[in-house]
Structure 1
């Protein structure tokens, strides 16, 4: 949102941060704007000033914020992924980020699943954040192949898709079992798969 004063930007950021935790705990469907106003100590006029489209605008802002937070937790590894050591560091960073979370809806995918039936346009916007995450895996695997660490016949896009799908599956089972172990197993399996294509 452009044209905000420094104070206005800080207020909007505070609302997004607080609303993110509320929605990730309860899911989009389980939250009303009244719940968000109460949980963020925000008046109705304030909420619609910063999010004129209401819940849809707020969920879009939450998806952008959560996506940035998840990617930041994976740095510096996700920005390189050009050695086997960096892939192992990335795996460990993902696990550590999710290890202490109590949110039931702790992934961007969960937000997509909640908003898709009611707002396809918003679902596309939210899904774009997951696509950017996957794209960074593709870029890393391309560097691995260019550096001679992956076989010439390895397909970075296909391998990245398999890795990302495995990661998302690990997150879903992690939530269902309330345990970090499924995510650890999923990522270990993804790295084993990638190693099978080592040059």
Structure 2
């Protein structure tokens, strides 16, 4: 029962407050252990307000997935827009490592965490998350394609596969960094792929 297109400015603000509260609770306690009543209390809304924006939990989960995906991909898009060469991938790497370090290596990747919990239990959410990861991979692919066009990678380099490997390394690196409370796994994952790209450079 989402009527986002018809919401007033006040209505949009209320809906966003609910989604932010839900995202925070789900990050802290997991989707399964976050109830509608928990979100209602955290957002400071009435039961009728809650139902007006989200008639069931699955709608709220979808909104959280969408919101977290847009937030992560928005920051990734801004960071990768500054990458104009293979060497400049190190700047992107540094931003991700510092972001993880600033959080004390807690929390991991928000959309990765959601995927881990929802991929086997919520097909619509899994599809949304698949789309989010595809967008992320496409951003990396675009950078590598541009590098190949500039002659930094050999013609015919499988940039899609390399972008997927980078994304997989990032996700695994974030998870292991979360477990170890140390950014070394994330650094190793990205640095290894950047070194591989440098070795591919002609000459």
TM-score normalized by the length of structure 2: 0.88
Is 1:154 matched with 2:157?
yes
Q: Within 2, Cα distance between the matches of 1:195 and 1:11?
A: 48
Q: Within 2, Cα distance between the matches of 1:190 and 1:25?
A: 31
Contact 1:67 1:129 in 2 (8 A): yes
Cα RMSD, aligned residues only:
1.9
Alignment correspondent of 1:38: 41
Stretches of structure 2 lacking an aligned partner (at least 5 in a row): none
Q: How does 1:1-199 map to 2 (within 5 A)?
A: 1-52=4-55, 54-74=56-76, 76-79=78-81, 81-101=83-103, 103-104=106-107, 106-199=109-202
Q: Within 2, Cα distance between the matches of 1:190 and 1:107?
A: 23
Contact 1:77 1:87 in 2 (8 A): no
Mark the CA change 1:82 to 1:105 in structure 2 (over 3 Å): closer, same or farther: closer
Would you say how many aligned residue pairs link Structure 1 and Structure 2? 198
Q: Within 2, Cα distance between the matches of 1:180 and 1:59?
A: 29
Q: Secondary structure at the match of 1:84?
A: coil
Summarize deviations over 1:65-116 as a string: whole Å, max 9, x none: 2122223333533125331243111111222222223653533122122112
> How far did residue 197 of structure 1 move?
1.7
Q: Secondary structure at the match of 2:5?
A: coil
